[in-house]
Amino acid sequence: MPKQTIRDINWQGKRALVRVDFNVPQDENGVITDDARIQAALPTLNYLLEKGASLVLMSHLGRPKGGPDPKYSMRPIAEHLGTLLGRPVQFVGEVVGSEAEAVARALQPGDVLVIENTRFDSRETKNNPEMAAQLAKLGDVFVNDAFGSAHRAHASTAGVTDYLPGVAGFLMQKELDYLGGALDNPQRPFVAILGGAKVSDKIAVIENLLTKVDAILIGGGMANTFLAAQGYATGKSLIEEEAIDTARKLLAKGEDCIHLPVDLVAADAFAADAAHKTVAVDAIPEGWIALDIGPATIAHFANRLAGAKTVIWNGPMGVFEMPAFAAGTVAIAEILASLPNAVTVIGGGDSAAAVRQAGLDGKISHVSTGGGASLEFLEGQVLPGVAVLADLK
């Protein structure tokens, strides 16, 4: 069911309580190293401000253990956001409580407030009703623009809608349009590319996609388990022994759909400077590790992608953080960036990072901001943070 968005609300004089995903990486000095998630929220925030709203922004950051931790404070994020918005951004050092409520009540149209890391309150992840009610006191209408957290039923993503009407922000709507459109009404041929380390993370995705796509291309560490299921010796490559039987069943079910590597880049150690060479899938030296797809596989995958009109990609083709084993992932990104008239969707996480690292994100139709959320969406699950938003009438 389509959801109401911020365009469906008269914002003049209202406080927008916005759940954003500002869980951005920082260095040891607290300097933000990648602000892509903050940048992605700007269209929503600027629209609300233009329409006469004041903003109360909430997000989690990192994984604080059991309570407040200065390392994960939202204060530096608030300061950076002020620079991007070109206006002052207030900050309160609590998640809920009298100070946050007082500052929120005093907001005037155009004012912006960031509250402290929602996970500093242990009730957040339990979707505690009392905390949700306290959060609701900070705004008049709830806006969920945090697709990356929409698969979590937390107080700030779902529970708050028990007390406030909820609508989608532009980023949330864009995610639903691209991912939902790809799954529900794709232009064909429709090809899925799956990588990353573990088959177990993608079993439900593969089973769902087998009913929808024309081809599934599998690379990354998860391909090793499929190769093992076919009887190949894989050296010391990452294998999920407990998933081999499942991989075998998926191959049988998708024999005309699933495509595996035909060659690999293998190394004598898991290290950036390890000795490495390209080998056929049946020729991995004993004790060596497969760390990337090889050139013949890149060519094979390119042939399957030629003419594709819809492509979803989740998970790198190798250990792209190491330059020697990044060629497969970069090649796939370049192929997708060059596809004419195709809808290309990157499902967040490492594959999104790889596309940005290659400088190709501007040539992709949509780069998702949610790794785990996009995976669950691709599995066909209903995301809690989406389900609670008001339906479009």
Question: What residue type is 166 in one-letter code?
Answer: G
Q: What is the CATH number of domain 186-378?
A: 3.40.50.1260
Task: Give CA–CA dist 383/61, Å, rounded.
Answer: 20
Q: Judge if pTM exceeds 0.85.
A: yes
In 3D space, the residue among 169, 170, 164, 162 whose CA is nearest the CA of residue 142 turns out to be 164
The structure tokens 């799956």 sit at: 194
Burial class for 362, CB neighbours closer than 10 Å (0-12, 13-18, 19+): exposed
Homologous superfamily in CATH for domain 6-171 = Phosphoglycerate kinase, N-terminal domain (3.40.50.1260)
Contacts of 382 (CB under 8 A, 6+ apart): none
Q: What is the 3-state secondary structure (H, E, C) of the chain?
A: CCECEHHHCCCCCCEEEEECCCCCCECCCCCECCCHHHHHHHHHHHHHHHCCCEEEEECCCCCCCCCCCHHHCCHHHHHHHHHHHCCCCEECCCCCCHHHHHHHHCCCCCCEEECCCHHHCCCHHHCCHHHHHHHHCCCCEEEECCHHHCCCCCCCCCHHHHCCCEEECHHHHHHHHHHHHHHHCCCCCEEEEECCCCCCCCHHHHHHHCCCCCEEEECCCHHHHHHHHCCCCCCCCCCCHHHHHHHHHHHHHCCCCEECCCEEEEECCCCCCCCEEEEECCCCCCCCEEEEECHHHHHHHHHHHCCCCEEEEECCCCCCCCHHHCHHHHHHHHHHHHCCCCEEEECCHHHHHHHHHCCCHHHCCEECCCHHHHHHHHCCCCCHHHHCCCECC
Name the pLDDT band for 350 (thresholds 50, 70, 90).
Answer: confident
- Please provide the size of the chain in residues: 393
Backbone angles phi, psi at 370, to 5 degrees: -125, 110
203-216 pLDDT, tens per residue?
989 999 999 999 99
Q: What is the pLDDT of residue 30?
A: 82
pLDDT at 32: 92
Q: How many angstroms separate the CA atoms of 95 and 388, rounded?
A: 22
Provide the sign of the torsion angle of the four alpha carbons 282, 285, 290, 292, taken in this order: negative
Q: What is the mean pLDDT of residues 350-372?
A: 85
Phi, psi angles (nearest 5°) of residue 107: -65, 140
* Distance between CA atoms of residues 39 and 248, nearest Å: 42
pLDDT at 1: 66
Angle, alpha carbons 45-48-53 (nearest 5°): 125
Predicted confidence at residue 383, as pLDDT, reads 92
Which residues fall within 8 angstroms of residue 327, CB to CB, at 6 or more apart?
265, 292, 295, 298, 318
**Average pLDDT taken over every residue of the chain:** 94
> What is the average pLDDT across 119-135?
97
Q: Give the pLDDT mean for 114-123.
A: 97
Please report the pLDDT score of residue 351 as a whole number.
83
Domain boundaries, the chain: 6-171, 186-378
27 exposed, middle or buried (CB, 10 Å; 0-12, 13-18, 19+)? exposed
The answer on pLDDT for 81 being more than 70 is yes
Average pLDDT over every residue of 80-95: 97
Q: How confident is the model at residue 34 (pLDDT cuts 50, 70, 90)?
A: confident
189 or 348: which carries more pLDDT confidence? Answer: 189
pLDDT higher than 70, residue 255: yes
Chain CA centroid to CA 140, Å: 28
The CA-to-CA distance between both ends of the chain, in Å, stands at 9
Note whether 6-171 and 186-378 share their fold.
yes
Structure tokens at 204: 């439900």
Q: Supply 246's token pair.
A: 């499942």
Query: Is the per-residue pLDDT at 199 higher than 90?
Result: no
**pLDDT of residue 378 exceeding 90:** no
What positions carry a catalytic annotation? 37, 198, 349, 372
CB–CB of 298/328 below 8 Å? Answer: yes
For helices 36-50 and 75-85, angle between their N-to-C axes, nearest 10 degrees: 60
pLDDT tens per residue across span 139-185: 999 999 999 899 999 999 999 999 999 999 999 999 999 988 888 88
